[in-house]
Amino acid sequence: MRVLGIETSCDETGIAIVDDHAGLIANQLYSQVKLHADYGGVVPELASRDHVRKIVPLIRAAMAEANCSADDIDGVAFTRGPGLVGALLVGATVGRSLAYSWNVPAVGVHHLEGHLLAPMLEENVPEFPFVALLVSGGHTQLIRVDGIGQYELLGESIDDAAGEAFDKTAKLIGLDYPGGPLLAKMAEAGTPGVFKFPRPMTDRPGLDFSFSGLKTAAATAIRAADASDQTKADIAHAFQQAVIDTVAIKCRRALEQTQLKRLVVAGGVSANLELRRQLAELMAERQGEVFYPAPQFCTDNGAMIAYAGLQRLKAGETQPLSVTTRPRWPLEELTSI
């Protein structure tokens, strides 16, 4: 079975084609980072309009890359939610329309399920069950995964997600958008111990996260400190270490609570090298294993949507002709396959 996947939940237009025998055979991605940089964040209306401009050329490029025609496509998967409603509608409308015109089934995919299953695109595939850490701009969640559609939410951010906190703190330091990767790079030049920030909610039981107070602590330090590059690097280092320590502590608790030995880390922040190093140490200590998507599949992309859609289409799921999106969509509402 060969599936075309469409991702338009936010500010990346991702198109990919996945074959259940050959694997990923086409992957096209367009990022709107430059478009939104002047505004310091994603402007939903601009994002929707740019998806409209880019989606058809990217589909054509993916079809050419895979050297296939409409007759070779057996199904279409598109991101149904969660995400920006206007952006979601672009991908859902185009995806459902293509499926209708090609006379193939379509399925709406949960964006976070796509991230959860992204490591399945790699050669070293995690076996179920495992604990998943979804850590991105909009989500920080710990989930027990017993199979596709079998998800138990263990903990989540009650305010800012880790990626949001990275981007907002980077903006306070004076870095461009998106600031998370730039802050991580700046942190490499920081001196450990010059600044000390709290590890939020680690002094109480539970697996929920809160990064709003940490962002406030960083803002206070930035206002009180001098504006030298070294001071900014020291603050960036302290902030990043506080986030990573907090995430690692919660991951340890989740693994102890579930008694599982496998950890899957997905989402844009999963590309952070210091986070990977610390989680690798944690899993080595616990005699377990940690899995990641390839760097190009950590952020939003069509490949993860195509793969998740392939699994659901093979299980018989289809989307009706009516186009509906779910800007808010709890992961636990998905059906097991």
Give the pLDDT confidence score for residue 145 in this predicted structure. Answer: 98
Overall average pLDDT of the 58-69 stretch:
98
Is 6 a residue whose pLDDT tops 80?
Answer: yes
In a shared domain, residues 26 and 56: yes
3-class secondary structure, 128: coil
Do 172 and 270 have their domain in common? yes
Please give the annotated binding residues for substrate, written as ranges: 134-138, 167, 180, 272
Give the sheet arrangement for strand 150-156, strand by strand.
150-156, 140-147, 130-135, 262-266, 289-291
Identify whether residues 95 and 184 lie together within a single domain. no
Residue 62: inside a domain? yes
CA–CA separation, 148 and 194 (whole Å): 45
Shared domain for 145 and 270, answered yes or no, is: yes
Quickly count: other Cβ atoms within 10 Å of residue 137's Cβ: 24
Q: Are residues 106 and 146 in the same domain?
A: no
Residues 15 and 98 in one domain: yes
Task: Outline where DSSP puts E strands in the chain.
Answer: 2-7, 12-19, 23-31, 75-81, 106-110, 130-135, 140-147, 150-156, 262-266, 289-291
CA distance linking residue 68 with residue 3, whole number of Å: 11
Is 96 within the bounds of a domain? yes
User: How many domains would you assign to the chain?
Assistant: 2
Residue 12, domain CATH: 3.30.420.40
Torsion of Cα atoms, 41 then 29 then 88 then 336, to 10°: -120
In the block, tokens 């996260």 appear at 209
Question: Is 255 within a domain?
Answer: yes
Quick check: is 220 in a domain?
A: yes
Cα 108 to Cα 335: distance, rounded to the nearest angstrom: 13
DSSP states of 189-205? TPPTTSS----TT-SSS
Question: Would you put residue 316 in left (φ > 0), alpha (ψ -120 to 50) or beta?
Answer: left
Q: Is the pLDDT of residue 137 over 80?
A: no
Q: Report the run of H or E that residue 164 belongs to, with start and end.
A: helix 162-173
Q: Indicate the SS3 state at residue 284.
A: helix
Q: Give the CA angle between residues 6, 74, 132 to the nearest 5°.
A: 50
Name the residue range of residue 163's domain: 129-292
Looking at residue 113, its pLDDT comes to: 97
Residue environment code for 299-333, b if the CB has 16+ CB neighbours within 10 A, otherwise e: bbbbbbbbbbbbbbbeeebebeeebebbeebebee
Residue 122 lies in a domain: no
What pLDDT is attached to residue 99?
98
User: Could you report the per-residue pLDDT of 149-176, keeping only the tens digit for each?
Assistant: 999 999 999 999 999 999 999 999 999 9
Residue 204 has a pLDDT of: 92
Q: 38 and 171 in one domain?
A: no
In terms of domains, do 249 and 312 share one? no
What is the C-alpha separation between 113 and 134, in angstroms, rounded?
A: 10
6 and 81 inside one domain: yes
In this structure, which long-range contacts are made by residues 167-173, counting pairs with CB atoms below 8 Å and at least 24 apart in sequence?
167/41, 167/137, 168/215, 169/215, 169/218, 169/219, 169/236, 169/239, 170/236, 171/40, 172/215, 172/218, 172/219, 172/222, 173/222, 173/232, 173/235, 173/236
136 band by pLDDT with thresholds 50, 70 and 90: confident
Domain annotation covers residue 124: no
Known binding-site residue numbers for Fe cation: 111, 115, 300
144 and 274 part of one domain: yes
Give the pLDDT confidence of 41-63 residue by residue, as tens digits.
999 999 999 999 999 999 999 99
Q: Answer yes or no: is pLDDT of 227 > 90.
A: no
Same domain, 149 and 196: yes
Do both 263 and 208 map to the same domain?
A: yes
pLDDT tens track for 79-118: 999 999 999 999 999 999 999 999 999 999 999 999 999 9
The encoded tokens of residue 212 equal 């709003």
| The residue to which tokens 């701009």 are assigned | 137
pLDDT of residue 213: 93
In a domain, 79, yes or no: yes
> How high is the mean pLDDT of the chain?
96
| Binding-site residues | 111, 115, 134-138, 167, 180, 272, 300
